[in-house]
Amino acid sequence: MDHCDHHTARLPELPSPEALNQAAEMFRAMGDPERLRLLTMLQGGERCVGELVGENDKLSTVSARLQSLHRARLLHRRREARHIFYRLADEHVAELLNNALEHASERNPSPTP
């Protein structure tokens, strides 16, 4: 008898390969603490790139990080004269970010099997 025979629940329907690839791209983009910091800063609303540059950051580095998040469809951007403004793409991005940060801060360091 196969050791998996006791499971009677059906597996959930899997998303399309395209949806899985897009989700993986989003998680890759979020897989950097500095990009997560930028997403967190944008939870307060739209900001221009210059407002997101910290004391130890280069404008070009922050801009590249924002572009990566935009390519992953986590941010929307708009241009106004010489300034580029970014904001979270939608409420799902904020929820995803908050869930990830909450999960990371839980006190249980090792999952039980």
Instruction: Please report, for the domain that includes residue 91, its CATH number.
Output: 1.10.10.10
What values do phi and psi take at 50, rounded to 5? -60, -30
In a domain, 113, yes or no: no
80/48 Cα distance (integer angstroms) = 9
In a domain, 31, yes or no: yes
46-100 pLDDT tens trace: 999 999 998 888 999 999 999 999 999 999 999 999 999 999 999 999 999 999 9
Position 109 scores a pLDDT of: 64
Position 11 scores a pLDDT of: 84
Q: Pairing state of beta strands 83-88 and 75-80?
A: antiparallel
In a domain, 27, yes or no: yes
Tally of domains in the chain: 1
In a domain, 85, yes or no: yes
In a domain, 12, yes or no: no
pLDDT at 1 over 60: no
Task: Report the SS3 class of residue 47.
Answer: strand
Within a 13 Å sphere around the CA of 30, how many CA atoms are in the beta-carbon half? 20
Domain around 85 = 19-104
In a domain, 43, yes or no: yes
In a domain, 88, yes or no: yes
In a domain, 91, yes or no: yes
Position 108 scores a pLDDT of: 64
User: What does the DSSP assignment read for 8-28?
Assistant: -SPPPPPPPHHHHHHHHHHHH
| pTM, full prediction | 0.81
Tokens 């739209």 found at: 46
